[in-house]
Structure 1
Amino acid sequence: MDLDRLAVVMPAYNEAEGLPGFLEELERTLSPLARHLDLVVVDDRSTDATAAVLHDLSGRLPALTVIEAEANRGHGPTALAAYRAGLELGPDLVVHVDGDGQFHGIDVARAVRATVSTGADVVHGVRRGREDPWFRRVLTGIVGIVVGFAAGRRVPDVNTPLRVYRPAALAELLEFVPDDALVPHVHFSLAEA
């Protein structure tokens, strides 16, 4: 693979239990894909041990950069801050993934490979067999219908947290989304379509 720099960005809130294994898995599966790997985690002022866990991990994972938000702002603004931090590194690709275990390192690597092999500006990972509560699945379905109607075509998994972007495409999308957007991926999906 001809990637010089790959940046993985991740918002985190109360993910102390799952982050160590997931970040180690990401480093293991993604390091072979680029000469330089960055793992950027923005902690949204977690109330559990996330900050301490990330501090400990930063000593063991050289690819890891931890950013502590000044205040808890919610998932959307934290994800946008993570995207901006990733762009500042000058990567060939920016990958967004949540740290809640919905995807595995191999899924992320597959999305990166698909982006490179197709030359696409944007690649989404699509969740299948979600184990979210029924009301979240229904809400996502309704939002998907609205976005599909507005965009003129169906967008699978409109709010997926696994996304790979070429920097120019991501920078353009970030211009259209307010800093306080609660669900920026829905905005992105609409603009991408």
Structure 2
Amino acid sequence: MQLVAVTLVAVAGWVTVSALLPPPVDPGVATVVAVHDVALGSTLTAADVRVERRQADERPAGALDDVRAGVGQVVSGPVLAGEIITSARFRGATQLAGLAPGFVAVSLPVSDGVLLGTLRPADIVSVLAAGTGQPLASAARVLTTELDASGVLTAGAGGQGHLVVAVTPDEARALAVAMGAAGAPGGFLMAVRG
């Protein structure tokens, strides 16, 4: 009987102490984040990123866990300080990942900086010929927009910015014909699709 009483007291003491101890701290997962703002089109260096520990549920799909995976990559849009770096933030063949086979990326001159500044990767737009309104691509997926870090139109020749979109090869040919030798001096019109 004494043995049972001692055992019950020991179990009660263990339960009490266990209830008072804080739960173990989850150390998190190694996650690459931006040290400071990085402008669109910049090539990441080791000084631009660092590894922090983040909870698994805070990490978006494609989050990098090693700085070496990001160094040397060109970012496809402005990156903010503290932002988690994902593989989707880089220019290159990965931008077409997830799309049906056969899509190609094309760069289009766009003179409407206001609209260009509102577009984000993954937006769907219809591309129309300036002047005629002829539809050239009905559901082009935005890959990148060329704006500077402050969101201002990056002016190229003729004060145009550029929009990189994924289109079918047939749409790419139609866009090339519409662009012509002069390079579409009026740019293209974009109609954002909902």
Regarding TM over 0.5, the answer is no
More strand by share: 2
Structure with higher RCO (Cα < 8 A, 6+ apart) = 1
Larger radius of gyration: 2
More helix by share: 1
